[in-house]
Amino acid sequence: MQFHTILTSIALLGCLSLSSTLPVHAQGKGASRAQADDAILEMGQAFKQGDRKRLTVLLPRVSGHPLEPWGAYWELRARLGAAAPSEVQDFLKRYAGTYQEDRLRNDWLLLLGQRRDWTALAAELPNYRMNDDREVRCYALALEPAVTGIDLAAEVKRQWYAQKDADDGCAYAAAHFYEAKKLTDTDIWRKARLAMEHNRPKVARAATDILSPAAGANIEEIISSPARFLSKRVVAAGRVAKESVLMALIRLGSTDPDMAASVLENHWSVHLTSEQRSWAWGVIGKHAAQRLSNDAMEHFAKARDAELNDDHLGWKVRAALRQGKWKEVLGATKAMSAEAAQDSTWIYWRARALLQLAKSETDRAEALRLLESIAGVRGFYEQLALEELGQRISAPARPAPPSAEEKEAVRLNAGLQRGLYAIQIGLRTDGVREWNYSTNLHQRGGMSDRELLAAADLACQREVWDRCINASDRTKTLIDFEQRFPMPHKDAVVQRATQIGLDPAYVYGLIRQESRFIMDARSGVGASGLMQVMPPTARWTAKKIGLTNFKPHQITERDTNIAIGTGYLKLVLDDFAGSMPMAAAAYNAGPSRPRNWRGQTGAPVLEAAIWAENVPFTETRDYVKKVLSNTTNYAALISGQPQSLKSRLGMVGPREVNAPESNNDLP
């Protein structure tokens, strides 16, 4: 361990008592620590504002403070472009072994790549522990010599295709490999298509510029008016013209899949290659499926599964599930890439399709093997797989608690202590980053299950519940349900839930997903508190539940937040006739959307798992599954009895014509 790190650890041990959750200055350690805390907080603000001068003035005031590495990092990072290499190296040595050292190294490597200083970049890369920055990885790939048995071009494509923005590193690596004839025109066009499909025209243009400036000349017109672009052309001769037509169809399909289908069918289909047609139909089918249109499967039927990407195939599975077309479910899951096929979602539905279509014991045995490969308590489909195998969800036997030695080891971990300290004085984002880095232990390849349990115990003792859950959730073989599914504020939550007829496990399942029990959590759109209630919803609900004299600032108060959050949850649950998945969707996305997603009169009645998987919004789809999975695990923990996720899911279908709408004014 570096000398500075030892000193930092000693300082941290002196200022962070495990017996208390309070910051040091609140424990009577003197005004100097409080002043240093204030200086650190001010530096955090100055860094966000880009105030370099203020950072330099404040830095001496945090010397010796437990969070000094953060202050030093912010000050140097703010002027990194003008810093001398020797100053960077001095920082890396002084704070060796810390998150801030590797964070600055990450920033420095990016800057070296942008400067094309390959010698300096190559020299620093071996010291980079984090190894989670896609752009740095791409710079590294561009520098690596050909290695027998390693397909560097395939790795460049994987990183580049996954990159959302037009960052320099992967674009440089792609251009470098293209010039070396290790990437093809098809590889470049595929990136442009993906960018267009995800509404990132600048990224699409950057990709086509690798081919030639002329290749992306039509992109601006395609973005502004794809229908007009398509109507102006009679034929598509040559690769550039055909790909331009395809991108216009992709653009049109995202806003008007019916028109795109008509234009493709009646004119452009004959001008495109089989692979290009399949991609176009995949995009059109995907957007039709997201609109819950019955036409989706007709569109997908005009494409070859082998020529669709994983995203298209996933939406084909969802559309097929809605229509009960199990053969298509099986075919689409089989066509997925090896990586996608390992997702528990598609393993589960592939197994279900095999069971539905089984013509032999071999088919049934394969389905059972797939279910057994994912069955467990870790998540939504893992739990459903367990039930398909005839078992219920139970809380696993609790592992032995961390020993005194294991607790002492995490107590001596300076990174964990810095992370908790930062969180507790108000630097949550920075503290979370350092905590995550330290529990990942990039220096040693990752914490063991026992170390993670001890780290989780440390966070639980400090009542930093989100980090407790974060660490405990990552254990592989040892599962401590009481850590993974903590129940802070138990008396308040259980009493309120019971009083209004809500299952406390459901309330806890939702809070765990909403805020991870962070009392002052605030979302980017303004939702606040444990149950992440929006201000207009809080005002409306307060009136509905008779909470008189409610003031907006009260929404961050624990009991008020619980009262309003549970009150609203009860109202939406009643509105959806007790359907937990639909109420969860309403809580996340508003009640009007789940009403539309349940289908019109005559729509099929679906397993709620199928309904949830077809929710068009990725955030809400994941939210519903996680809330119901959490709920089932909390119920097992609270009751001590085996539980059923399927019984909580139930079925979802269109509301009966004469069924009352109990709360149509729900916000």
**CA within 13 Å, CB half, 266:** 8
Alpha carbon distance 295, 257 (integer Å): 10
Angle ∠(478,457,443) on CA atoms, nearest 5: 75
Residue 497 amino acid letter? A
Give the type of residue at 80.
L
* Residue 270 to residue 372: CA distance in whole angstroms: 46
Q: How far apart are CA 456 and CA 215, in angstroms?
A: 53
Count other C-beta atoms under 10 Å from residue 54's C-beta: 17
**Which helix H or strand E contains 281, and what residues bound it?**
helix 274-290
476: helix, coil or strand? coil
Catalytic member of 75, 197, 451, 514: 514
Intra-chain end-to-end CA distance of the chain, in Å? 56
Between CA 243 and CA 189 the distance in angstroms is 7
Tokens of 306: 């082998």
Cβ atoms within 10 A of the Cβ of 364, count?
Answer: 14
What Å distances lie between residue 666 and 492, 534, 595, CA to CA? 25, 13, 12
What are the contacts of 363-372 at 24+ separation with CB within 8 A?
371/347
The CA distance from 557 to 538, in Å, is: 12
- Per DSSP, 267 falls in state I
Report the C-alpha gap between 613 and 597 in whole angstroms.
11
Q: What is the 3 state secondary structure string of 64-124?
A: CCCCHHHHHHHHHHHCHHHCCHHHHHHHHHHCCCCHHHHHHHHHHHHHHHHHCCHHHHHHH
| Residue closest to 465 by CA, chosen among 102, 24, 4, 21 | 21
Residue 369: alpha-carbon gap to chain centroid: 29
Task: Give 128's contacts (C-beta < 8 A, 6+ positions apart).
Answer: 102, 105, 106, 109, 136
- Cα 346 to Cα 373: distance, rounded to the nearest angstrom: 12
Would you state the structure tokens that stand for residue 520, as one six-digit string? 């002052």
Please confirm, yes or no, whether 514 is among the known catalytic residues.
Answer: yes
**How far, rounded to the nearest angstrom, does the alpha carbon of residue 319 sit from its chain's CA centroid?**
23
Integer angstrom CA distances of residue 563 from 394, 553, 554, 570: 29, 14, 11, 11
Residues annotated as catalytic (active site), given as ranges: 514
